[in-house]
A and B are shown apart, each in its own frame.
Chain A
Amino acid sequence: MILFKMAFRNILRNRKRAAILVAAITIGLGAMVFLRGFASGAQGQMVDNIVSIITSEISIVHKSMENIYNTNGMIEDPEAIRRLLKSDPRIQGFAEEVFGSGIVASPNASIMSFVNGIDIPQELAIGTRIPITQGRVYRPDEEHALFMGEKMREILGVELGEKVVVTVQDIHGALVGEAFTLVGTMTIGNDQLDSGSVVLPFETVQRLLGMEGRVSKFAIKAKEREKIPEIVRDLKVGIKGLGPSGTELAVMTWDELIPMMAQMMRFQDGMIFVVLLIVLSVVTAGILNTLLMSVVERVKEFGLMMALGMRPVRIIGLLVTETVILSLIGSLGGLLAGMSAVSFFGHFGIDLTRFLSTFSNLLVGSHVYPRLDWSTIGAFLAVVVVANLATALYPAWRASRLEPIEAMRQIT
């Protein structure tokens, strides 16, 4: 207890210095928390957009469909999967999709395109967002209507209400073409999809591709996001249990389907960690400096204390206690500063409209809303406190090795 009292007194003796030291830790940690929050927010929005617009939370597909750039394989026995999904209480719902690739042609131009067949009510039920730019989606009674990427419409040079021809190769190898009325356009934000995808009624695509009774993909939504890894694991076991038809299938999440995005985020995460190390080493140097100073200043005092019978270990204890107090206050301040910045901007958002065209393909959206990332905050905090403690050991050890008599004799 006396150690605490002495430590506090020593800290208060030189308030300005203590304040600067605390400020250094506060700024460093606060900035890191905010940076991480910004990155988590941007990444979270990317994932939300990817999941709700492009891939869905969990997908069951044929294992030869390795990512969203290909449309290989199909699910031969959807009934078994339906039973499997319905029996899992953690799954909120699922939608069935069928897709292939083909050529979409207007009188002016033609484009290679993904041809997606979805059932609108099913998709809405699992929270899929369709970012409509013009017009609308097709109605349930419209068999020959479609919507497409806005960019694609511009390239094809067609207007809403006009007809385009969609040609696909069915699963038996025959070419099938039919005319469809364009009822709407969408802007996903990914150039490739916006300039090369059409969406048609589910049954129509199934019929065009000759895939009656079969589907390309189950898009699945979990009741709780946190349970997704667990559900994926169980589904993987579940489909294996379906026998030979099940081993042909794969359960995937968005990061496997759009590997480029996932890789980009991993790259960013690594980068932030490196930045943390840099900031930390700079802050630590400042702390080391301050502690060394305060030891030099108090050489006489330490000499006196030791002459009066204080053991060297306690001197170490005293200095370490001082550091712990300072770094705890600094870390607390940093956490508070970082967290309030994150919550403030998390509420109001950081406007990226100026850069919107610059970043549209990253699917972040027009505003970034930083989010608190509790797991990394804990790690940052631990690293800061441990690093400070480790730094304190050297000056503390120096102080404990002072020779009492000589120390007292020293002129300041």
Chain B
Amino acid sequence: MGSEPREVEKVRERFGAALREVVYFRGEDTLVVAPESVLEICRFLKDDPEMSFDLLVDVTGIHYLEREYSYEVVYHLLSLARRRRLRLRTRLGEAGEIDSVTSVWRGADWHEREAFDLVGIRFKGHPDLRRILMPEDFEGHPLRKDFALEQ
């Protein structure tokens, strides 16, 4: 497919099967990737001069019930030089563990803390994975779909 965006071509060429799916919707490109490759792919997308996704816009988590996966982690990347956006999405099992990307973008720090606090995703290698918006002694993760609103 010659019409694929360069990002898709390069990630496919370099990471092969770790790129599980590509979604095009409303002019936005989403790469669905294997969770164990997220850190490597992020580092590549940031450091490769042709990719240069130097700004991490956002990291967030989504919780699912009764699916083959329990969580999705969504990364929004931006290349300032190329004025390009790219979304990475990865699926996690019940353990909800994934490598932190704070070593690639320092700014991932608070985003990952928030995804931990509200959704319950654990980021391995995060320098200081504490709750950020909820009180320290709060129990549970409010953005999970099984979180009871009335108690």
Do A and B bind? no
Q: Tell me the B residues contacting A by CB distance below 8 Å.
A: none
Q: Tell me the A residues contacting B by CB distance below 8 Å.
A: none
